[in-house]
Structure 1
Amino acid sequence: MTKAIEQAADGDVWSETSSFYLVNSTRNSVGLKDEITAAVALQDGDVLLVINLSKTKGHATSGLAKKALFKKLIEQR
């Protein structure tokens, strides 16, 4: 997944060992999520969350177990 995220970024990539990344991209949240998930075989338990920090309603997910709770929390931003 790390390589897919780095290849999907349009420029610098910042990451930590916790697999938390900040990237610039010209794609929207869904487009970036789709590009990353298409480039890697997700394993059981893998979760991908893409949040557009420049917009209050931009996000996309893959593999969330508690979708209702996530939706409740993300809509508070």
Structure 2
Amino acid sequence: MVLVLGRPGSGKTTLLRALAGKLEPGVKVKGRVTYNGSDVNGSVPKQASAYVGQYDCHQAELTVSETLDFSHGLFGGACTLS
């Protein structure tokens, strides 16, 4: 888990969106992102990361574990959380 701190408008959300490959089309970025020494070419390895936005958009009836399991099932297959 990573905590990114900064003043309002300093680019925290933009940084995280860039790392997650979720920037709007046409936004220019400079630099290089690597994962374990290898270029990720604009995409983050899905097995090792997740992007959780600022707004809480989950089903209140589900536990955290059930929510993560459901999301993983939609985007990556079965998941077992311990």
Which TM-score band applies after superposition, normalised by the shorter structure? Answer: under 0.3
Structure exhibiting the larger radius of gyration computed from Cα positions: 2
Determine which structure has greater relative contact order: mean sequence separation of CA pairs < 8 Å that are 6+ residues apart, divided by chain length: 1
TM-score, structure 1 as length reference: 0.25
Question: If the length of structure 2 is used for normalisation, what is the TM-score?
Answer: 0.25
From the two aligned structures, give the one with the greater helix fraction. 1
